[in-house]
Amino acid sequence: MSVLVDKNTRLAVAGITGREGSFHTLNNKRYGTNVVGGVTPGKGGQDVEGIPVFNSWAEAAESAQPNTAMIFVPPRFAADSILEAAAAGVELVIAITEGIPAHDELRVYNTLKRDYPGTRLIGPNCPGILSPGKANVGIIPASFFKEGNVGVVSRSGTLTYQIGNEIAQAGFGCSSIVGIGGDPVPGSSFVDVIELFEADEQTELIVLSGEIGGSAEEEAADYIAKDVSKPVVAYIAGFTAPAGKQMGHAGAIVSGSAGTAAAKAQALEARGVRVGRTPTEVAEIAVTQLR
């Protein structure tokens, strides 16, 4: 098994006719992902190397029955595209788009929760999801990962490649790699994805790769202590990042002393999660636990 994307994935892509959108869609298709369509308003009836393009998510849903949506449209159109896919009944929406306004993300998150609870959003501003050997939805370079039993969830793209590659070089593979993105209001949190890994038979160890800001890592720490039986190894980036460059006092109140890399590492370690000091050390700890 794996989580979220696999051989049953039926993918449709908003922004398939754009340069980036078509490049990565075709890449995903070559990997073996079942791509059933694309959505670009005004370009319905065309195709991208045989993949049919529809004018709207409603049309795509009716004609091609996608169960997964990938969003590649520019930031100013992304929020509406996500909600349109949800309204069309798509269960999983993976938003790659970077630079969506925070207020749009807030509106999307709360609208999904209220009106479309059956739709799960991953991202935005994320590299997507790869289940090695099964399906790739997004921009994760599949060649650095092997199939295996490590579940990876991360706020950062390249850092994930770094850690995943070191695990692969040590001879281990991954069940799924899930990028949840680094934006202020992500559709899914560490907790949401760890819950899936905990339930996934193939996954034997979970790697969490976090960074400064917000409190998602601290919330994950509480959840892990309470509800997770599988070993978790964590990495936190940003120990030397300048503090509070953009945040005013009000923001600092919300996170209290939390939000710094040190506070996050401490919260995780206090609940029995081993935290590697470098990406290499994370891979080493993971490999030791797997052997």
Partner 1 sequence: MDLLEYQGKQLFARHGLPVSDGKAVTTVEDAVAAANEVGYPVVVKAQVLIGGRGKAGGVKLAADEAEAREHATNILGMDIHGHTVRTLWIEHASDIATEYYASVLLDRSAKQPLVMFSIEGGVDIEEVAENTPEKLIRHHVDALDGLSREEAVQIATDGKADADVIEGVADALVALYEVWLDEDATLAEINPLIVTPEREVKALDSKVSLDDNALYRHPENQELADKENEDPIERRAKEQGVQYVKLDGDIGILGNGAGLVMSTLDVVAQAGGQPANFLDAGGGSDAAKIKQAVELILANDAVKAVLFNIFGGITRCDEVAKGLIAAFDEIKPTVPFVVRLDGTNDVAGRQLLQEAALPNVHAARTMNEAAEKVVALAGGQR
Q: Which residues bind partner 1 (CB under 8 A)?
A: 75-76, 99-104, 106-107, 109-111, 114, 127, 139-141, 144, 154-162, 165, 182, 184-185, 209, 211-216, 219, 235, 237-242, 245-256, 261, 277-280
**What is the CA 11 to chain-centroid distance, rounded?**
16
Task: Provide the minimum distance between the beta carbon of 81 and partner 1 in the complex, in angstroms, as a whole number.
Answer: 16
Among candidate residues 19, 245, 249, 291, the one labeled active-site is 249
Q: Which of 43, 3, 2, 5 is nearest to 21 (CA)?
A: 43
13's enclosing H/E stretch is: strand 11-14
- Decide if 249 is catalytic: yes
Residue 8 or residue 99: which is nearer to partner 1 going by CB?
A: 99
The least distance separating partner 1 from the CB of residue 152, rounded to whole angstroms, comes to 13
Nearest Cα neighbor of 157 from 177, 187, 131, 186 is 177
Dihedral in degrees, nearest 10, Cα atoms 6, 78, 238, 233? -20
Helix (H) or strand (E) holding 193: helix 190-199
Q: Which CB atom, from 199 or from 241, has the smaller least distance to partner 1?
A: 241
120: which strand partners?
92
Question: Least Å distance between CB 207 and partner 1?
Answer: 13
Pick between residue 53 and residue 139 the one whose CB is nearest to partner 1.
139
d(Cα 123, Cα 129) in Å, to the nearest integer?
10
CA 125, 19, 68, 38 torsion-angle sign: positive
Beta strand residue intervals within the chain, DSSP E: 11-14, 35-39, 47-48, 51-54, 68-71, 92-95, 120-122, 128-131, 135-138, 147-154, 174-179, 205-211, 232-237, 274-276
Q: How far is the CB of 255 from partner 1 (least distance, A)?
A: 8
Q: Which is nearer to partner 1, 58 or 258 (CB)?
A: 258
Compare residues 229 and 257 and give the one whose CB is closer to partner 1: 257
Cα radius of gyration rounded to whole Å, the chain:
19
| 124 preceded by a cis bond (ω within 30 of 0) | yes
Task: Give backbone dihedrals phi and psi of 83, rounded to 5 degrees, phi first.
Answer: -70, -35
C-beta of 284: minimal distance to partner 1 in Å? 11
Which sequence positions are flagged as catalytic?
A: 249
